[in-house]
Amino acid sequence: MGDVTISAFLTYGNAAPQTAAVDSAAGRLFVQLGDAQFHGVRVYDTRNLREVYSIAGTRTSGFGFWTATVDDTDHRAYFMASQSQVSTPGGTSRLVRGSLRVFDTLSGSGVSVLPIIGYDDKIAVDRRAGRVVLIDEGATTIRLLDERTASVRATAQVAPRPFDVAIDDRTDHAFVVSVKGIVTMVDTRTGRAHELTSTGGLFGNVVVDSVRGRAFVGTEDAATQAGGVAVFDTRTGSLLRTIPLDVTPQFMGIDERSGRVVVAGDLQTVSDSWGWAPQWVRQRVSWIPAAPTVPAHAGGIVVLDDTQL
């Protein structure tokens, strides 16, 4: 492999970029900044990194755009500003409510502003149905937005504190995972919700393989912290199987073309009741068990082959 040429390079003031997103069809790069000079989003031409326009955020320490998602079909950028405590010049703090702000990626003009009340909020886009699913960690309902106007078209009841969402745009089903271990399947067109079978553990992230019609949800047993992945049918919502893993899922990704599901997390560790004993004692006393081979706080990655499941 030959050398890679760096075509452009950007530097900023006293703060690093916090999020970035790309509208590949429009050739726009969105970079969220929160330094002393500018608080908001700067938008660049992806070909030469020349600034095209900027979107100002709230100029208050600790509050701004936290996550960004771009739909390059309808040229919409969704910026999430989560609820937060911010400091005032008088030395006190106040609660600033969160919001979802929607912009036209071509012009930078605002399309809509929607309030959110949670601290961990996410969105997912169903391009075929023309819907945007907004989950609000502080609510028990999710909102289904019109992809073009960002107006609320329907709501759906889910388990308290929804944590993550992924969509199968071939079935128009969204899979919403709540922190209390419940997965809800929602029809993105109608808002009809169906609570799925729980495996009894704590659920985490979710990814969808729309090619093969599978939803993968990371699990963690509340008592043993044993990790695994629950596999659902994206058409019926049926729980197909639960796969035990040697890692407790923290992050998940999927390559739908190859059918590979990547699960990253903490390796399962065994407690060492003899950890207090010096090494020379453990070597001389035969009946003391050997130290665990997996160190505490070790991590690992597991790759699942969806084509073989």
The total domain count for the chain is 2
**Which structure tokens are listed for 8?**
């452009």
Q: Which of residues 26 and 199 earns the better pLDDT score?
A: 26
- Quick one: which H or E segment has residue 33? strand 28-34
Q: Share the mean pLDDT of the chain.
A: 79
Report the pLDDT value the prediction gives residue 62, as an integer from 0 to 100: 43
The CA-based diameter of the chain, rounded to the nearest angstrom, is 74
The CA distances from residue 52 to 28, 43, 44, 48, in Å, are 8, 6, 5, 11
Question: pLDDT digit string (tens) for 241-293?
Answer: 989 888 888 888 898 888 899 888 877 655 566 666 677 777 777 777 766 55
Query: What was the pLDDT predicted at 89?
Result: 56
Distances (CA, A) of 234 to 54, 61, 169, 202, 283: 39, 42, 10, 20, 53
Write down which residue in 95, 118, 141 finishes a domain: 118
Same domain, 61 and 168: no
CATH number at residue 300: 2.130.10.10
Confidence grade of residue 227 (pLDDT, cut at 50, 70, 90):
confident
Average pLDDT of 234-240? 95
The whole-number average pLDDT for the span 45-72 is 72
Question: Are both 95 and 176 inside the same structural domain?
Answer: no
Across residues 196-216, what is the average pLDDT? 82
Cβ atoms of 251 and 303 within 8 Å: the answer is no
Same domain, 138 and 106: no
Mark whether 170 and 290 lie in a shared domain. yes
CA atoms within 13 A on the CB side of 304: 28
Residues 182 and 58 in one domain: no
Q: Binning pLDDT at 50, 70 and 90, where does residue 119 land?
A: low
Residue 240 scores a pLDDT above 70 = yes
Same domain, 21 and 145: no
Supply the pLDDT for residue 18. 72
Q: Which domain holds residue 195?
A: 120-309
Are 104 and 199 part of one and the same domain?
A: no
pLDDT at 24 over 80: yes
**Do the Cβ atoms of 129 and 171 come closer than 8 Å?**
no
Inform me whether the pLDDT recorded for 97 exceeds 80: no
> Alpha-carbon distance 188 to 277, whole Å?
58
Last-in-domain residue among 93, 118, 143: 118
Q: Are residues 103 and 243 in the same domain?
A: no
Of 118, 150, 176, the one marking the end of a domain is 118
